[in-house]
Every structure is written in structure tokens, then in C-alpha cells.
Structure 1
């Protein structure tokens, strides 16, 4: 069995990963508490607040719902531009990942890396993507757009080979 995926790393792919990490950590607890608190404050004090206090409440709410994701997006855009400088010819970076019985083969920017299954330390499954982590502290993002119809079979294949 072999799964071969060729795709271009996009800003939206990195943004999804960063947002998943942001909301799977202690930061998520802080964000959720602040969002909830700001909604309660807006509901409780909106009518008797002066305009500048209303503005402060709206800014506080938007810090966690709009501003933080926007800053994360801008950082991801910067990362993709750095990848382009390293050898991409358009937005993002071409990447080819091949998973077979022996492990993972990575081809990018004329480079070739081979990782046997023992080097693949884990993988994470999220609703919109899968991340495969190698022993050299790198993760490879495979979005549903890339996986297509092979998503379920691919996850089962990786799960089976990592546990060998």
C-alpha cells in the first residue's frame, strides 16, 4: 500500500494548525473565559454605558475573536513567504509526501528525505487535517483538501504502521 500526496503549503494550512494548537492548550481556557466574560459584560452594562466604554467592551471581545486569529494569520503568511524565499516559485512551497510500508519519503526543493516508521513518533488527527510528526521535531500537514477520499484509509494505514 502506498499513499502519495503532492501539494503546495498554503497560509490557510498553517493557520488551521496554529488555531488548533491555540485552542488545545491553556490559552484556550483563557480565551474562552475572556470571551464569555466580555459577552456577559456587554449584555449587563450595554444600555447604561457611555460610548467609549462600549467601544472598550467591543475591542476586548474582538481581541479573542478577531484580532488574535488575524495576528496568527499574519504570522503564518510571514512563514510561507520565508519558505518561498528558500525555493518556492509561487505562494507556498511544493511538497511531496509518500507513505508506504517502509515509512515516509519527503521530496521538496530538490531534496529527498526518507524516514522509516520507527522515526515517525506520532500523528494527530483533527477534523480538517492530519499532522505526521517525525523524530527530528518536524510535522507534516495533510489537509482534507490534500487527503481527499483517502483520508480514512490513510489514517488507518498510519495508525497501523506507527504501532508496529
Structure 2
């Protein structure tokens, strides 16, 4: 089997992954508890609080549902800006080949640590402390087939 893709990741894809990873961990639970606590504080102290206290309460309520995703999105834009345009990814029996205008890199399946699906996004984690995010548009309907192929390759190396 051979798969070939024009590799293009968008900041929104990285935002979804960042939020999914946060809210599947203990940090997500802490974020949720903090936000609920701030809402309860707002209910209790809103009438008695001064303007400054109300501003702090509103800022606390908005911190995790609004400010944190905004910062994740801004960081995602920086990451995407550092990825060169025109990358092509070919996956076949020999491994994962990433081809740019200047170079070509072969990542053997032995370096493939994990293959995960988050919604319609496929994430390939490699041993080189990098990962590849393949969204639905990039995969073009071959997501499940590629996931099965990579999972089989990963399991075969064990």
C-alpha cells in the first residue's frame, strides 16, 4: 500500500488537539473546577463587590474558556508559520517519507511511537520528538485505511 498527501496543517487543527489534550488530562479537570468556582463566587459576591472585584471575577470566569484557547491558537499560528510550504508525505512499506523542495527524510516505522485519532484528525507520533497532524482535508477520505495500515506497521515492529 502507498499513500501520498500534500501536507498542510492549519492552526485550527492544532487548537483542537491542544484543547483535547488539555481537557483529557488532570489540567482540564482543574480548569473546569476553577471556572465553576469562579461562577459560584460571582453569584455570591456580585451584588456586594466593587467594580474592581467584579472585573477580577469576570476575568477569572473567562480565563479558561476564552483566554486559554486564544493563547493556544496564537501558539498554533507560530508553529504553522514555521512549517515550510509544499511538503509532501508519502507512506509505504518502507516508512514515512517527508519531501520538501530542499530535502527528503525517511522515517522508518520503527520510529513510529503511536498513531492516534482525535475526531477526524490523525496524529503520527515519531521517536524524533515530532508529530504529524493529518486532517480530514489532507487525508481525502483515506483516514481509516491509513490508520489501519499504520497501526498494523506499528504492531508488526513489536
Give the TM-score normalised by structure 1. Answer: 0.82
Equivalent residues of 2:17, 2:118 under 8 A apart: no
Deviation, structure 1 residue 47: 4.2
Deviates more, 1:42-51 or 1:65-74: 42-51
Q: Does 1:151 align with 2:123?
A: no
Equivalent residues of 2:112, 2:127 under 8 A apart: yes
**Structure 1: gaps spanning 5 or more residues:** none
The structure 2 residue matched to 1:123, chosen from 115, 119, 143, is: 115
Give the Cα separation in 2 of the matches to 1:26 and 1:111.
Answer: 40
Deviation string for 1:62-101 (max 9, x for gaps)?
1111111111111222223334xxxx4xxxx332211212
Partner of 1:163: helix, strand, or coil?
helix
Partner of 2:138: helix, strand, or coil?
helix
Change (3 A) 1:100 1:82: closer
Q: Does 1:5 align with 2:8?
A: no
* Superposed CA RMSD: 2.0
Give the TM-score normalised by structure 2. Answer: 0.85
